[in-house]
């Protein structure tokens, strides 16, 4: 991408809707005064780059008097010659109704598409938001996701975030909490504040009363394997030591099965299906949202030992979080005594893998 690319101030989508920024700033990235006469001569000979630089100069007032009509003229000149940066900036002008052109979202979409097809991430992002809102084009969530994915694949944080939104809500793509969380995390790691805020919200939801958290389905035919609850307090020495202890794992179905683990290491129903039905695990809690289950696991850093599965009960889908894999009930109970207080307060209980296999949704 050229260092002369004109910048558009792109605003991330507000959940769950999408909107493109109304603001664009056109300027050359160089602080050196431009030789306008030389650029005029080069542009007259068909040099698209020179035309673009003239458009950027007139849009910003660098080395010339600011003149939006002249900016539009030179941007259009370069855009017709196929220069993606010029196509993009011309699109911004039509999308915002900048002095020199009338507001025309359909024309904006046309020029955004031309630039997007050449791989310009900013244009791909804006075109995606236009499809997501039906602005200048017929609304199409699937196309919105396709263009946002192209921009996201180039590392554009706004696109990463908005693609995560689509995966979270299942707009234009299958609802997929794993991919949504991955995209949110990528945007957050790149410093995008909205992504960090959304991850915190998802983690908070894992503890929310709205999710009907505390194993409200335990005393049912589906969810009861044993009558005893495992909630003993640790000694002060154990509390001081902190952390989760490694538990013995033998026989079949280890927690590190690469073929049945998600990208972030969390096991799901496909992993449970591979296990010996005569083994045991600790069910920590059940939540009504898959996102909240995954966020709970991430918040408590249980990725190495946790798994979750879906079960249908009372006309609702629940997502049960489990911890560990053990050969006997006694081994599971012993492991429960070593869990941190924050987990033990939820009163985890022993379940057989066979009963989980019978009850879970696949």
**pLDDT, average across residues 52-61:** 90
- Structural element, H or E, at residue 42: helix 36-44
In the predicted model, what is the mean pLDDT of the chain?
Answer: 77
The pLDDT value recorded for residue 15 is 33
DSSP-assigned beta bridge partners for residue 136: none
Selection from 190, 125, 121 nearest residue 157 by Cα: 190
Q: Place 47 in a pLDDT band, splitting at 50, 70 and 90.
A: very high
State the burial class of residue 256 (Cβ atoms within 10 Å of its Cβ: 0-12, 13-18, 19+).
exposed
Would you say residue 169 has pLDDT above 60? yes
**pLDDT, average across residues 147-160:** 95
The pLDDT value recorded for residue 120 is 95
Write the CA distances from 188 to 98, 155, 182, 185, integer angstroms: 33, 12, 10, 5
- Interval 283-315: pLDDT, tens: 998 888 787 888 888 778 888 889 999 988 878
Q: The whole model's pTM is what?
A: 0.60
Reading the block at residue 131, the tokens are 């499809």
* Distance of alpha carbon 344 from alpha carbon 233, whole angstroms: 8
Reading the block at residue 249, the tokens are 């794992």
Report the range of poorest mean pLDDT among 195-199, 207-211, 263-267: 207-211
Virtual torsion, Cα 258, 263, 267, 271, nearest 10 deg: -40
Q: For residue 308, what are the contacts with CB-CB under 8 A and spacing of at least 6?
A: 266, 267, 268, 290, 293, 294, 297, 319, 320, 321, 322
User: 């489990």: which residue's tokens?
Assistant: 322
**pLDDT, average across residues 248-253:** 34
Percent of the chain topping pLDDT 90: 42
**3-state SS, residue 29:** coil
Considering only residues 358 and 217, tell me which one the structure prediction assigns the higher pLDDT. Answer: 358
Q: CB of 283 within 8 A of CB of 335?
A: no
Q: For residue 36, what are the contacts with CB-CB under 8 A and spacing of at least 6?
A: 54, 57, 63, 64
The pLDDT value recorded for residue 205 is 64
**3-state SS, residue 118:** coil
The DSSP string of 128-151 is HHHHHHTSSS---HHHHHHHHHHH
């Amino acid at each position: 991408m050229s260092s002369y690319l004109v910048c558009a101030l792109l605003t991330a989508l507000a959940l769950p809707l999408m909107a493109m920024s109304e603001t664009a700033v056109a300027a050359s990235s160089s602080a050196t005064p431009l030789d306008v006469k030389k650029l005029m001569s080069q542009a007259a000979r068909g040099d698209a780059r020179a035309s673009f630089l003239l458009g950027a100069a007139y849009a910003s007032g660098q080395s010339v008097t600011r003149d939006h009509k002249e900016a539009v003229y030179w941007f259009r000149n370069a855009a017709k010659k196929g220069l993606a940066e010029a196509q993009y900036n011309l699109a911004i002008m039509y999308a915002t109704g900048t002095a020199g052109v009338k507001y025309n979202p359909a024309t904006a979409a046309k020029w955004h598409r031309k630039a997007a097809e050449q791989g310009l991430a900013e244009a791909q992002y804006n075109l995606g938001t236009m499809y997501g809102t039906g602005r200048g084009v017929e609304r199409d969530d699937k196309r919105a996701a396709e263009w946002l994915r192209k921009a996201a694949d180039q590392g554009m944080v706004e696109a990463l975030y908005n693609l995560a939104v689509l995966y979270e809500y299942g707009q234009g793509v299958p609802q997929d909490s794993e991919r949504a969380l991955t995209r949110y995390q990528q945007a957050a790691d790149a410093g995008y504040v909205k992504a960090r805020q959304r991850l915190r919200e998802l983690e908070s939801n894992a503890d929310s009363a709205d999710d009907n958290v505390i194993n409200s389905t335990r005393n049912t035919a589906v969810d009861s394997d044993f009558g005893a609850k495992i909630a003993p307090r640790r000694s002060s020495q154990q509390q001081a030591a902190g952390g989760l202890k490694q538990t013995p794992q033998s026989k079949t179905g280890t927690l590190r099965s690469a073929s049945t683990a998600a990208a972030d290491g969390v096991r799901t129903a496909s992993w449970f299906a591979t296990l010996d039905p005569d083994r045991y695990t600790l069910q920590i809690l059940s939540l009504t949202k898959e996102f909240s289950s995954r966020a709970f696991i991430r918040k408590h850093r249980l990725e190495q030992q946790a798994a979750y599965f879906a079960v249908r009960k009372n006309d609702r889908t629940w997502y049960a979080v489990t911890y560990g894999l053990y050969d006997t009930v006694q081994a599971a109970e012993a492991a429960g005594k070593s869990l941190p207080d924050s987990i033990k307060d939820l009163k985890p209980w022993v379940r057989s893998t066979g009963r989980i296999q019978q009850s879970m949704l696949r």
